[in-house]
Structure 1
Amino acid sequence: MPQLATSEAVAVIGAGTMGAGIAQVAAQAGHRVFLYDVAAGAARRAIAQLGAGLAKRVAAKKLDQKACDDIIARLLPVETLAETASATLFVEAVAEEMGIKRSLFAKLEALARPDAILATNTSTLSVTAMAAGLARPERVVGMHFFNPAQVMRLVEVIRGLATAPEVVETIDATAQAWGKVTAVARSTPGFIVNRVARPFYGEALRLREEGVADPATLDAIVTEGGGFRMGPFALMDLIGNDINYRSTCSVFEAYGSEPRFRPSLLQEEMVEAGWLGRKSGRGFYSYAPGSAMPESQTEAASSGRAAPLISGWEKQPVTLGGVSLLPTDGRRAEDIAREHGHPVAVHDLRLDDGTPGRRIAVALSPMSAGERQTVIASLQAAGSVTILPDWPALVVMRIVAMLVNEAYEAMLHGIADGAAIDRAMQNGVNYPRGPVAWGAAIGLPRIVAVLDALHAQTGDPRYRAAMNLRIAARSDG
């Protein structure tokens, strides 16, 4: 089937923030859009709010007045479900409860024409289960937008067990015609983004629990070193620790208590304390009026004599005085130094995008004060420096290795292909690279070595390498 023609009407059920955003996206693409909500007057109020937002864009000269008027004219508030019957595509954005959604789809199927597509915007619930019991389960598909729908580029297109291939193709093509980047995935808990992203939060929380660094320092290493747009603690505060914790618990339970998704006791305690983040005024950081963000741990300018850093030092061993500077392979600096017979400094992974001054996190084996100052002075020529405890895989490498591993687990189970996973993570959560591409850039043998080192030193099964990742690494090596 081709993409949905703009002559076909779209019905959006649910006029909350997400539903209203989806309605605007469809109207901007040229469709007449019926907007319905069970609350009387909610659809009209939502359209008025959309109009105010579009008017601001006109005032900022980002949209012309005629285009604004045309979009608003295509948004049609309705007071009954029956008024949506002529739509070809229905997108529900109601409460995230299976019973509510299944009941709604039964009503929509009864009033819609037989070839209509019923799409759910669910972020966590099974599309397969939602379609079960309907007369035409092959017409049900996931169309998961990210909030705010008008801004975020990604739409996850989710195929349930019964979803017809042509329905998936139509929704995929339609979402792209609406200006979105799409990623097609099988209906499994968390789909792509909410599953593959779990290590970004989980490993950061464990690093905090293990006393490696405070949240501000960990966030600085992840953003200024790893190139992520937001650090995990700032992002959890933005999302809400209650919501983030609930998402982790949901995926953990859905996958039969898989250790990779184990929830954090630290985050659970914060939820119990009501430290939910920005919305409560306190989370990992304080958001009370007048509060300042804490400083990250950064080394003061060194008095040591700097040794020159050769080009490509980030990816190969170099010598700084009598100290070997090495990229992390997951082992502790002290263990490597014992093997080499001289002091070593092990540095964390950095995003190699050419940005000058990126933060460098480093762990040191036992060495003299002079050798320590030489290492710091040498690295400060390339960026700000944070000295970490001598800990397996440090910070960015530990998080990225687990993201790569989770991406390979998703591919192993046929949830999505590598290209779709990378598109989803870059466009859904703004990662600087997709995990599959990042793994290839780092080298899969190195990723497996890091995971094996973490597994050996912690004994935690969460660090076991995915079978297909290990096989691919052998081919790479």
Structure 2
Amino acid sequence: MQALNTQALIAVIGAGAMGVGIAQVAAQAGHQVRLFDMRDGAAGEAIANIDRQLGKRVANGKLDAQDRADIVARLRPADSIEALADSHLVIEAIVENLEVKRGLFTQLETLCSADCILASNTSSLSITALAAGMQHPQRVVGMHFFNPAPVMALVEVVSGLATAPGIAQCVHSTAAAWGKKPVHTRSTPGFIVNRVARPFYAESLRALQEGAASSATLDALMREAGAFRMGAFELTDLIGHDVNYAVTCSVFNAYYNDMRFQPSLVQKELVDAGHLGRKSGQGFYSYAADAAKPAADELSAASQVESCVLEGSLGAAQGLIERIKAAGVKVIERDGSGVLRVGDAVVALSDGRMACQRSLQDGHRNLVLLDLAKDYSKATRIGLACAQNTSREALDQVVSLLARCSIKSSLLADIPGLAVMRTVAMLANEAADAALHNVGTPTDIDLAMCAGVNYPMGPLAWADEIGLPAVLQTLDNLQRAYGEERYRPSLLLRRKVAEGSRFHD
């Protein structure tokens, strides 16, 4: 079904940050927009604020003055909800309360024409539940924008049990016409993004709880090795721990306490203390005016490494070898089990086992495990873990080799999967389960995670790049190490490995 043309009147209910942003997006796309809020004067104030923000863009040379005037001219406050009766699409962005939203939709159903689409910007409520009891539930759909709506590209188009496929497609096409990147998803808890993103926070929180490294070190690894824009602790401080913890609890409860979504006691303690992040001045980091952000831990080395021996392939870390060669280090290559010998050290990419366990099982002395990096040719920091019997001299040789490649080394406690590897494996696993349950296609799931939360790569495409057997092995080893259902591999991942296929074949 085609997008609504620009002659279609768009109504937005709720003049908070999300409603105002959505109204601006629709007006910028050429639609006449009516903005309504129950609070007297709120809609008019919101439009005036849009005008001021657009004025800043004009002053910065990012927007033409006439375009600003045209956009603002298309925005009008509505004095009453009855003034929205001739709308073609109504998008509500009011309080996240099921009964309040239901009441609004019931009222709109009596006001608007039968072909008017009723959309909810809800981030967590069931579209099926919102439409239940309505005379025409087929026209109710989710249209979940991300904040700030004029900037963020993603729109999750959410179909409830009764949503007509043509309605969902019309909204999808309309969002695309508005310059957004829409994805289709079913009305399941968390939709795509708020479900699939849970491991990003959860694995860093667990690593911190287990004393693997400091929050600053773990954040630095996610940025400098994983290529994420922010680490989990920086990001939750920005979001607000009350908000992030509440979403995790909501998803956990909605999935009947599935341990994959278990909330963190570390984060709960911050919430209980009122340490909510930036907005309270204290979270994992202090935001006081005179506070300095703590530095990530970094190893130094005194050794000089001129050569190393590669036995087999390092798998997803093979790109590191070209960087080592470019640094002038001689690499002797021969057949083997996939390790790099650096002086006395044996270096291998993490496979989800602890270094102490792998040293014992594989018979390696002086074992040093490498964490995953998104791109070993560009990574500026890599996490390492050692078996207890690894000598300081052997570790020093590995650190020296990485330093010669301009890579910083951060030592983690000997935890399964280190930091980036376990996080990416768990993100891919949750994305695989979402695809298995028809929450979204692999393509839409990857697009949602890139456009909605700025991941450097979709988790399913990333798993394809690492190699699905390696991801499955990591998860199997994590599950064995912890003995928890939290790390159970997705059936779809197991199937793909058995078939010898990929998520994006």
Are 2:436 and 1:412 aligned? yes
Tell me which of 391, 394, 416 is aligned to 2:418: 394
Which residue number corresponds to residue 472 of structure 1? 496
SS in 2 for 1:361: strand
Tell me which of 473, 476, 481 is aligned to 1:449: 473
TM-fit CA distance, 1:341: 3.9
Matches within 5 A, 1:377-388: 377-382=400-405, 383-388=407-412
TM-fit CA distance, 1:62: 0.5
Q: Which runs of 5+ in 2 are unaligned?
A: 319-337
Task: Map Cα deviations across residues 125-165 of structure 1 (whole Å, 9 max, x no partner).
Answer: 00000001111100000000000000000000000000001
Residue identity over aligned pairs, in percent, reads 49
SS in 1 for 2:279: helix
SS in 2 for 1:141: strand
TM-fit CA distance, 1:342: 2.5
Q: 1 CA distance for matches of 2:208 and 2:177?
A: 43
TM-fit CA distance, 1:333: 1.7
Number of equivalent positions: 475
Q: 2 CA distance for matches of 1:297 and 1:232?
A: 17
Q: Structure 1 counterpart of 2:240, which letter?
A: G
Tell me which of 365, 375, 386 is aligned to 1:352: 375
Are 2:232 and 1:232 aligned? yes
Are 2:391 and 1:368 aligned? yes
Which residue number corresponds to residue 304 of structure 1? 303
> 1:341–1:271: structure 2 CA closer, same or farther, 3 Å change rule?
closer
TM-fit CA distance, 1:40: 0.4
Q: Is the Cα contact below 8 Å between 1:14 and 1:94 reproduced in 2?
A: yes
Q: Structure 2 counterpart of 1:421, which letter?
A: I
Task: Map Cα deviations across residues 369-425 of structure 1 (whole Å, 9 max, x no partner).
Answer: 322211110111231111111221000001111000000111111111100000000
Q: 1 CA distance for matches of 2:427 and 2:386?
A: 26
Are 2:253 and 1:253 aligned? yes
> 1:307–1:344: structure 2 CA closer, same or farther, 3 Å change rule?
farther
Tell me which of 326, 331, 347 is aligned to 1:325: 347
TM-fit CA distance, 1:353: 6.8
Which residue number corresponds to residue 281 of structure 1? 281
Q: 2 CA distance for matches of 1:191 and 1:426?
A: 15
Q: 2 CA distance for matches of 1:225 and 1:31?
A: 43
Q: 2 CA distance for matches of 1:224 and 1:199?
A: 19
Q: Which runs of 5+ in 1 are unaligned?
A: none
Which residue number corresponds to residue 7 of structure 2? 7
Tell me which of 435, 451, 455 is aligned to 1:431: 455
> 1:353–1:7: structure 2 CA closer, same or farther, 3 Å change rule?
farther
Q: 2 CA distance for matches of 1:392 and 1:99?
A: 44
Q: Is the Cα contact below 8 Å between 2:92 and 2:120 reproduced in 1?
A: yes
What RMSD over aligned residues (CA atoms) do the two structures have, in Å?
A: 1.3
Which residue number corresponds to residue 190 of structure 2? 190
SS in 2 for 1:280: coil
Q: 1 CA distance for matches of 2:101 and 2:455?
A: 31
SS in 2 for 1:79: coil
TM-fit CA distance, 1:334: 2.1
Q: Structure 2 counterpart of 1:476, which letter?
A: G
Task: Map Cα deviations across residues 257-277 of structure 1 (whole Å, 9 max, x no partner).
Answer: 000001111111110100000
Q: Is the Cα contact below 8 Å between 1:307 and 1:321 reproduced in 2?
A: no
Q: 2 CA distance for matches of 1:381 and 1:228?
A: 24
Q: 2 CA distance for matches of 1:159 and 1:303?
A: 60
> 1:91–1:309: structure 2 CA closer, same or farther, 3 Å change rule?
farther
Q: Structure 1 counterpart of 2:303, which letter?
A: G
Q: Is the Cα contact below 8 Å between 1:154 and 1:181 reproduced in 2?
A: yes
Q: Is the Cα contact below 8 Å between 2:346 and 2:367 reproduced in 1?
A: yes
Which residue number corresponds to residue 321 of structure 2? none
Q: 1 CA distance for matches of 2:111 and 2:344?
A: 78
Which residue number corresponds to residue 164 of structure 1? 164
Are 2:141 and 1:141 aligned? yes
Q: Is the Cα contact below 8 Å between 1:327 and 1:348 reproduced in 2?
A: yes
SS in 2 for 1:174: helix
> 1:50–1:440: structure 2 CA closer, same or farther, 3 Å change rule?
same
Task: Map Cα deviations across residues 66-113 of structure 1 (whole Å, 9 max, x no partner).
Answer: 100000000011110111111100000000000110000011111101
Q: Structure 2 counterpart of 1:222, which letter?
A: M
Q: After the TM superposition, which parts of structure 1 deviate over 6 Å for at least 4 consecutive aligned residues?
A: 309-312
Q: Structure 1 counterpart of 2:400, which letter?
A: A
Q: Structure 1 counterpart of 2:464, which letter?
A: A
Q: 1 CA distance for matches of 2:140 and 2:49?
A: 30
TM-score with structure 2 setting the length: 0.92
SS in 2 for 1:346: strand
Which residue number corresponds to residue 205 of structure 1? 205
Matches within 5 A, 1:103-114: 103-114=103-114
Q: Is the Cα contact below 8 Å between 1:35 and 1:77 reproduced in 2?
A: yes
> 1:163–1:325: structure 2 CA closer, same or farther, 3 Å change rule?
same
Q: 1 CA distance for matches of 2:390 and 2:85?
A: 75
Which residue number corresponds to residue 342 of structure 1? 365
